[in-house]
Amino acid sequence: MTSAVRLEQGSNAWHKHRALHANASEAATVMKVSPWEPDTWFKLWQLKTGRMVRTGAAPCLRRGADMEARARAAYEKLTGNIMQPMVLQKDGWLSASLDGISFNGDLILEIKCPPSGEASHTWQQAQAGSIPEHYYWQLQHQLHVSDVPTAHFWVFDGEKGLLIEKLPNVDDQDRLINTWRDFWQYIETDTPPELTDKDILLRDDAEWTSAANAYLAAKEELRRAQESADAARQALIALADHTRVAGAGLTVTRYWQDGRINYAAILELKGVHLDRYRAPRTQQVRITTES
């Protein structure tokens, strides 16, 4: 069920609302076609769970916000449609912050103001009568949440605009919402999605290189020291011809230790969910070196 949410877009309350909902602007990320960050499920999961804070909007998003009112006025002058911004939510977890919806609720508007204007990929695709894939999924999300029959995609360069009409695609909306549900399980269980190649940040700056070289040098020194320690240990064990031998500040003791329990072999534990006995998850850090 769709309902309006009385929020001012860009306000603190609006940001809190977005953190708790699956938003139309995130649809491209969920469908793995976003050209900007967050561009992976893991990065989006970090944002939604508060593990990462967005440092600032991309230039194209800032330009869009700055020019939105002017672009909407140009659209209204061209079409005669009067549109009002509105935040909608559906089924308790889906949300869409619309650039405009008609007063009778039969038309929604999505505005794009690419920084490079007519030279942009968005303008050129719109001029050819199509919509970039990442925006297509945003529109289908908006159409699903709003339950309206038509969306207008308006690309504005500051002086003139291009208009494309888009209708709901039920099959694509089903695919989108099912994919959202797959992603949302990671939010509900607080489990990180699997990392991809896009989740790696490559650095070659001087500070990182210096720290990495220091770590590698120390690791090699530790390896050589460990080899020496292992050789000396084996020599001591070979010389320890008694249950306990002491001297020169150390003691070598031979003793028996019980083997580890093979819990998988215990029939009484089959079917028992042992996860409820597991300690809370903790974040670990692993450093690997290239061979």
> Which residue matches tokens 């809370």?
280
Q: Which tokens sit at 46?
A: 């970090």
| Each residue's pLDDT tens digit, 208-226 | 999 999 999 999 999 999 9
What is the residue-wise DSSP string for 154-171? EEE-SS-EEEEEE---HH
Using the predicted structure, report yes or no on whether residue 153 has a pLDDT greater than 70. yes
Q: pLDDT confidence of 201, banded at 50, 70, 90?
A: confident
End-to-end CA gap in the chain: 55
Domain boundaries defined on the chain: 2-199, 206-258
Among the residue ranges 154-158, 177-181, 282-286, the one predicted with the least confidence is 282-286
- On the question of a cis peptide bond just before residue 35, with omega within 30 degrees of 0, the verdict is no
pTM: 0.77
Closest among 22, 18, 1, 24 to 111, alpha carbons compared: 24
Domain 2-199 carries which CATH code? 3.90.320.10
Contact 71, 83 (CB under 8 A): no
DSSP-assigned letter for residue 278: S
Residue with token string 């974040």 = 283
Least confident stretch, 52-61, 178-187, 211-220: 52-61
pLDDT of 110 > 60? The answer is yes
Q: What is the pLDDT of residue 64?
A: 58
Band of residue 231 on the pLDDT scale cut at 50, 70, 90: very high
Dihedral of the alpha carbons of 48, 34, 59, 159, in degrees to the nearest 10: -130
* Amino acid, res. 141: H
